[in-house]
Chain A
Amino acid sequence: MLKIENLHVEVDGKEIIRGLDLEVPKGEVHAIMGPNGAGKSTLSYTLAGRDGYTVTDGKVTFRGRDLLDREPEERAADGLFLGFQYPVEIPGVATLTFLKTAVNAVRRQRGEAEYDAMQFMKLVRGKAKDLNISDEMLKRPVNVGFSGGEKKRNEILQMAVLDPAFCLLDETDSGLDIDALKVVADGVNALRGPERGMLIITHYQRLLDHIVPDRVHILAEGRIVESGDKDLALELEKKGYASFGTDRAA
């Protein structure tokens, strides 16, 4: 579903991703773990198409099409969802308005009929309830004044409502206490399915106790240095990044 070949990415003239290969087939959940500065966020921003992340070499195919020459909103319409590590505040725009605008923008690009207010509310209410998101929170401006947990739950709500083919979750566990982590993990697990791929980027193993991955990859210095099954995460937890780090990557 997502295939990355020999990807090289520069930010401000500095190479961060240095020949990364990765393939996530549909129906599978993969995790990427790596120390600070390994290039985890660079990878997610590059896949989502953010300005300033220059691909100097390599290729990414998503659902059989070249991903890299497309605008961010086209990638979104194609079913690529990025859960942000730091969700952005948009003052004055109610969360509900934002969601509806996004859902209908995506549906329009896919050639589907836009939801009317009734259909949309029905859709959102159900999903919001599962994530313990109140009507009051939906009325508040996007992420403004939200706690860390609320922001992440809001990301998962958007994911559920937008119903993407592929979920890219960037450090979704950061800033969450254990209760919030469980709510978020349940939300993610509910979206697992044979048609959907997921790539979970995280620093710590603890998220993977709740979202059990099919494959685990270790990212260091811009490359995948080790891949394995879920036990790799436990091994990493014991030995630390040092044993997988620069020596073996070099």
Chain B
Amino acid sequence: MDSTAEILLERFSAEADADRTAARDRFRAAGLPTPGQEAWKFTNLRPLAQFLDARAEPANDSTPDLPGRLVDGAYRVVIIDGRVDGEASGTGIGGLSLSRGSGLQSGTAGNRALRDLSIAMADDGLRIVLEANAAPAQALELVFIGTGSRPDGHHFTLEMELGANSALTVVEHHLGSNAYAATLATDVRLADGARLRHVKLQDESDAAFHLSDCALEIGRDASCERFVLSVGSRLARDEVHVALNGQGSSVRLLGAYAGRGQQHLDHTTHIDHKVPNTSSHEVYKGVLDDRSRGVFQGGIRVMQDAQKTAGHQLNKALLLSRQAEIDSKPALEIYADDVVCSHGATAGEIDEDALFYLRARGIDAAAAKNLLVQAFLDEVFDGIADEALRERLKDRVHDALQVEGSDHG
């Protein structure tokens, strides 16, 4: 096995149960993914290996400042360096119960090494259960903070179980300071008719590694809307695997990313249409500056029984600098004939004509550029229903781009 995997497994608990041990063994056998593997063709984890090899000193373990809420009035759970901060049990939200501990099993995931790593090594976990028919107005906000006190990796597992015809909004806010490697494995199960709105802001420290793997199982007439905004991390991978298991189920995956410096931002999605009459809709848009690199891998698979499937995916990337790079692989794998599936991908720079038009109207180059970038990304943000949340996320991406914008003029 490779030494990086060994470092990551160093703190493996002697008391671990059979599931964790099995996950550890699988990760050990597989090792850290390499670009030789098709699923990791465009993302090389060598920087992570180098970082772990260097054995960074732990940063001072001081209590971090909490950020403002992304959703007004949301019930908040704070997770610091992979451990839930304080008690998280009763929320006072009707029908919603939270419990701590990592009970995630890796049975559903086929061969995803980092998921195995999270399960084997999770320091803590959170299980979220919503009763059937419950539809709390209050959102649940999970704040993940990395402090660098445990640079060699902190790992967390998250489970969400939504009962029949229930509805919930869950927001994840990932942020931090100093250097660290964070992994997160998530399992979401939506019972028949359940609706989940899932919003994730990945705003980790610029020196951090963020590796997240989310599995979604969607039942009959259930639906999930997921939005991810990635602006942080040195290297991040946001991986989502969706199984549309019930007739009438649907999923919408929206993503926006803004890369700068040497950031590497990977969004990998896979959607399985397993039964008839399901639909998926996917739009990812990214803006890449400096020497940053974006990766989009989208997979739609339509199984033989899944007639009347609609699957659409789109990835557009705007390259703001000569050194920026986008790699895109929007794949379709279709075994049923009565389907309407499509994908599209574009890569290019800001429309010079539009830029000139704005400047001719007196807007300076930097402002004009920002305006056009914002307009490019807006389409994705429009998918967020909560207006205050949408504006906060837009501001965040705007800030991120503004900072670099001044470098170029």
Direct contact of A and B (CB under 8 A): no
